[in-house]
Structure 1
Amino acid sequence: MKRRNFIKTTGMATAGIGIAANAAGNSFFNPPQNSLPRWRGFNLLDYFSPQRSHNRGQTTNEEFKWMSDWGFDFVRIPMAYPRYVKFDPSKNITPEEVLNFDEKVVEEVYNLVEQANKHGLHVSLDLHRAPGFCVNAGFNEPYNLWQDKEAQEAFYAHWKMWAKTFAEKSRDQISFDLVNEPCTREDMNDQFSQRGPVPGDLYREVVLNCMHVIHKHNPERIIVADGNNVGSDVIPEIFDLDVGQSCRGYYPHYISHYRASWVFENPDDSPEVVWPGVIDGQNFSRKSIEDFYAPWIDAVKQGVGVHCGECGCYNKTPHDVFLAWFEDVLSVLTENQIGWGLWEFKGTFGLLNSGRKDVDYEDWYGYKLDRKLLSLLQKY
């Protein structure tokens, strides 16, 4: 039941969305005009882990060049805030330490953005772990972002710091993605506890306060809010704000997170996957993808900027199933002028060194390149 609850709250259930099923079906010949650019690129996990000992390695200048040379124009940097504050890692972080910014690491992040910009890449700076909240467990927060004013004030302080740091950067160079995949959770330290949407009026309040803080330093800064309920739901409460929204390209999770230990308590319980076809008693096809994105496409038609900040597939999914499914995802997004960011550039979801056992990799300057995936990405 926990597996089913997780999948349900991250977009498995599409019945009753109240949007005509053909909202996306005929969009190719009359695409909506998206107010956000159709950025295409990758997530970079340089500052993803809250533990500095888990550093996945810095993205190199050479890697940025490859992204640009291959025709991509976007990187998203999901950060865990403990990576750029000073605190005692042998103890739980305190509210005071949450605001103890480490200028050396802040400068490192700035230099990473500089490198990306030099290669013509737009950077989306994202708080994957914000003060008092992360969609993932594994770090003890001193408060709860959705319950405690002290956590919210700390959250605003972090965005004030980043807004000042990048105040001189143009809107073409950097945007801010406020918090990754907001949701409530019964137990913040239990990865498998029941999740749900953040109350819409509360999410609006937090977004609006961030917007005021950020635009004080650069009124042209593009701001993006991740979809509610783990990124799966549009946020109608902020349609009137000058804020874009970020969806996800993981539907259905049966395929995108096949045998993933952080999704399935027992990965051996993962149902076998096909595309298109029946998975765990449900029939899936490109039509299912169109239905899932119908609310997002409707938001674009209402003037809301939409981008898919994360998409992709864990390396346990058979490669042919992954590519067949992913082409449907990318084609639906592209027909509706919605850009995307693959999770990740290198690693188990990535273009390089994914560790798949059923791929004939191409040697690429010491990396293992999934050429079929690259060709698919370049197509869209």
Structure 2
Amino acid sequence: MKRRIFIKNTSLLAAAVSLTGTSAFAKAPLKNTLPKWKGFNLLDFFSPRPFEKISTTEDHLKWMQDWGFDFVRLPIAYPGYLKFDRSKNITPEEVYNINEVAVELVDKVIYMAHKYNMHVSVNLHRAPGYCINAGFHEPYNLWKDEEAQKAFYFHWNMWAKRYKNISSKKISFDLVNEPSMREDMNDQHSPSSIVPGDVYRTVAKAAAEAIRKENPNHLVIADGNNVGNSVIPEIIDLNIAQSCRGYFPHAISHYKAPWANKDPEHLPEPKWPGQVGDQYVDRSMLVKYYQPWIDLTKKGVGVHCGECGCWNKTPHDVFIAWFTDVLDILSANHIGFAIWNFIGDFGILNSGRTDVAYEDWHGYKLDRKFLELLQK
């Protein structure tokens, strides 16, 4: 290289360092180690009632694939695949009574989803001793009782063994849905707080070990603490990805939702952006909310938004405006997402919204505007 060119290039490099504070040869920031999966939660196994049939069809999965989606999350309630006397509250002993016929229904959905190139995330929405929702009497507390934790590890080992030969590119194991430390596990509106970090670490570590006992390459995901809202710094070193949520603020996403509000009929009208009750809501609050998750990806921890969307009582234009900002922030940081459901009150089909011009789609009512937003 000629001396004049070398001096010129060196000067330009020095100027770049001066302006940015970093060397041009510095290592580029890490990006999210998880793929930017896009898709939906399938609610075939969400209820603790006995699993007897499935509602997801091959057509549903083919539509997802044709529309560009590649991910489904299966929230599972563990009582649905057990045998016990349902006229009484379940006992700790009965939590181990696996019903093979019910488990085979889960197999069927997973293999059907794989046929259409979906990554499947298996999630215990109701785990022994914990669920974000009431409606089934838990015999103990996952975060406090060793007996509940042993059952939790047993269930995860069962699922991991069942799918031990499936690649982590096709399946993952999402430990427990939206953890919190609720005072009364069987009271929907009982006061709750964040799970102590050391407790969450203990439970997540042992569950991951139970899963990886069957296949050391199994992909494990932990939902954020504080009902999915908060990063879990205590497990960063455990090779466990983390799952955030796309429901913030609840004044928009859960407007009039009876399971999330004690007085759903007396709530301030949602706007985006705008004044809602005693707070002004806009994109800047979303940026602040997601920043810890974005920072987590830069530490080499994979992040995915395992649940997101908006209940059907929020005005459609407000929902679309808000969710456009949510998806823009997630997508810019290579974070994928899964809408809470495909068909139903959060979904793109048969949402039950009264202010949407639906398109007929093989007998379903398609919210084309919502679909096109997700496809961007």
Q: Does the C-alpha gap of structure 1 residues 31 and 325 become closer, same or farther in structure 2, counting only changes over 3 Å?
A: farther
Q: 2:214 matched to which residue of 1?
A: 217
Query: Which has the greater radius of gyration?
Result: 2
Q: 1:311 matched to which residue of 2?
A: 308
Q: 1:125 matched to which residue of 2?
A: 122
Q: 2:33 matched to which residue of 1?
A: 35
1:1-380 equivalences under 5 Å are 32-52=30-50, 57-379=54-376
CA contact (8 A) 2:272 2:281 kept: yes
Q: Distance in 2 between matches of 1:212 and 1:147?
A: 19
Q: Does the C-alpha gap of structure 1 residues 57 and 270 become closer, same or farther in structure 2, counting only changes over 3 Å?
A: farther
Q: Distance in 2 between matches of 1:31 and 1:198?
A: 31
SS where residue 237 of structure 2 aligns? coil
Q: Distance in 1 between matches of 2:232 and 2:351?
A: 33
Letter in 1 for 2:37: W
Q: Distance in 1 between matches of 2:158 and 2:129?
A: 17
Q: Post-superposition shift, 1:268?
A: 1.2
Q: Higher RCO, 1 or 2 (CA under 8 Å, sep at least 6)? A: 1
Q: Post-superposition shift, 1:31?
A: 7.6
Q: Distance in 2 between matches of 1:347 and 1:68?
A: 19
Runs of 4+ in structure 1 deviating by more than 3 angstroms, as ranges, are: none
Letter in 1 for 2:258: S
CA contact (8 A) 1:289 1:329 kept: yes
Letter in 2 for 1:117: H
CA contact (8 A) 2:222 2:243 kept: yes
Q: 1:9 matched to which residue of 2?
A: none
CA contact (8 A) 2:177 2:223 kept: yes
Q: Does the C-alpha gap of structure 1 residues 56 and 335 become closer, same or farther in structure 2, counting only changes over 3 Å?
A: farther
Letter in 1 for 2:62: K
Q: Post-superposition shift, 1:57?
A: 4.6
Letter in 2 for 1:121: M
Q: 1:3 matched to which residue of 2?
A: none
Letter in 2 for 1:205: T
Letter in 2 for 1:296: W
Q: Post-superposition shift, 1:52?
A: 3.2
Letter in 2 for 1:311: C
Deviations 1:274-302 (A, max 9, x none): 00111112111111110000111111111
Identity, in percent, stands at 61
Give me the TM-score of the superposition, normalised by structure 1. 0.90
CA contact (8 A) 2:76 2:126 kept: yes
Letter in 2 for 1:283: Y
Q: Post-superposition shift, 1:32?
A: 4.8
Letter in 2 for 1:308: C
Deviations 1:94-134 (A, max 9, x none): 11111100111111111110000010000000000000000
Q: Post-superposition shift, 1:83?
A: 0.6
Q: Does the C-alpha gap of structure 1 residues 361 and 31 become closer, same or farther in structure 2, counting only changes over 3 Å?
A: farther
CA contact (8 A) 2:46 2:77 kept: yes
CA contact (8 A) 2:180 2:194 kept: yes
Q: Distance in 2 between matches of 1:277 and 1:326?
A: 15
Letter in 2 for 1:224: I
- Please, which runs of 5 or more residues in structure 1 have no aligned partner? 1-29
Q: Distance in 1 between matches of 2:201 and 2:182?
A: 19
Q: Distance in 2 between matches of 1:32 and 1:249?
A: 23
SS where residue 52 of structure 1 aligns? coil
Q: Post-superposition shift, 1:138?
A: 1.1
CA contact (8 A) 2:309 2:323 kept: yes
Q: Distance in 1 between matches of 2:170 and 2:81?
A: 21
Q: Distance in 1 between matches of 2:272 and 2:90?
A: 44
Deviations 1:128-158 (A, max 9, x none): 0000000111110111101110000000000
Count of paired positions:
349
Q: Distance in 2 between matches of 1:212 and 1:104?
A: 27
- Please, which runs of 5 or more residues in structure 2 have no aligned partner? 1-27
Moved more, 122-131 or 208-217: 208-217
Give me the TM-score of the superposition, normalised by structure 2. 0.91
